Amino acid sequence: MRILLAEDDTNISMIAKVALEKVGGHEVVAVLDGGQAIAQIESSDFDLILLDGMMPVKDGLTVCREVKTGAKKNIPIIFLSAKSQDSDISEGLNAGAIGYIQKPFDPTKLSEEIDKILNESGVAA
Partner 1 sequence: MSPIQFRISLVILLVMAVSGTSFGVAVYNFLQVKSIHEDIRTSYLVRNKVDSIYIRKDRKNITNELQAIRESLEPEERSLALSDIIQSYTSNSWSLLKRRIKHFEKVEAKYIEFLLPKAEYLEKNILYYFLISSITFILGMFFLREYVAKAVFEPLLRVTTKMMDFLNGKYSYKFEVPPSNELGDLQSTFNSMAQRVLHNMEELEHLDRAKSEFLNIASHELRTPMTSIKGSLGLLTSGALGDLDPEVQNMIGIAESETDRLIRLINEILDLAKIEARKMPMKLSWNRLDEVIQESVNGLNGLCKSSGVSISCANLPDYEVNVDRDRIQQVITNLLSNAIKYSPKGKAVEVTVEQDGPGPLFIGIRDYGKGIHPDEQAQIFEKFRQATNSDNPLVKGTGLGLAIAKAIVEEHLGHLGVQSDIGEGSTFYFTLPNWRELSNNESQESQKEAA
Chain contacts with partner 1 (rule: CB under 8 A) = 9, 11-12, 15-16, 18-19, 22-23, 82, 103-108
C-alpha distances (whole Å) from 12 to each of 4, 17, 124 are 14, 8, 27
Q: By C-beta, is 9 or 88 nearer to partner 1? A: 9
Q: How far is the CB of 15 from partner 1 (least distance, A)?
A: 4
Q: How far is the CB of 37 from partner 1 (least distance, A)?
A: 20
Q: By C-beta, is 86 or 122 nearer to partner 1? A: 86
Q: How far is the CB of 66 from partner 1 (least distance, A)?
A: 25
Instruction: Indicate the SS3 state at residue 85.
Output: coil
Q: Are 81 and 104 in contact (CB under 8 A)?
A: no
Q: How far is the CB of 49 from partner 1 (least distance, A)?
A: 20
Q: By C-beta, is 4 or 12 nearer to partner 1? A: 12
